[in-house]
Homo-oligomer: A and B are copies of this chain.
Amino acid sequence: MTEPLDLARLQHRLAEFAAARNWQPHHTPKNLAAALSVEASELVEIFQWLTPEESARVMADPGTAHRVEDEVADVLAYLLQFCGTLGIDPLAALAAKIDRNERRFPVAGDKGGDEPGQLTDS
């Protein structure tokens, strides 16, 4: 494959794939958001009984590594299709969010004990 491996190209392939199978009626934003969350949970399922240490070693087993990569692909696929139906540019959305977070959470004022989760609840 000589195509450049970029998001826009993959998004286009996903849209063609769905259109060729007449799936657009199923692909409402509501359904694609649900499908995205289901795939994210399938990723969680791989890790749910692992210790933190075990979770850092999942790629050492080829079968588990393939399963993790497969779920990553599914999450990204539904995220791109969701963004496609609503005209959202996911890279621009993320760049804007990082810009906002860098202003809101300057390093100098950061305490070591803060939890990372606070950033995402803007």
A7-36: contact bitstring with B at CB < 8 Å (1 yes, 0 no)?
Answer: 100100110011011110011111101111
Chain B residues within 8 Å of A23, by CB = 116
The CA-CA distance from A43 to B74 in the complex, in Å, is 16
Q: How many chain-A residues does the 8 Å CB contact rule pick out?
A: 83
Copies of this subunit: 4
Q: Are A91 and B34 in contact (CB under 8 A)?
A: no
Chain B residues within 8 Å of A29, by CB = 47, 55-56, 58
Partner of A37 from B13, B37, B112 at Cβ < 8 Å: B37
A46-69: contact bitstring with B at CB < 8 Å (1 yes, 0 no)?
Answer: 111111100110110000000011
Q: Are A48 and B31 in contact (CB under 8 A)?
A: yes
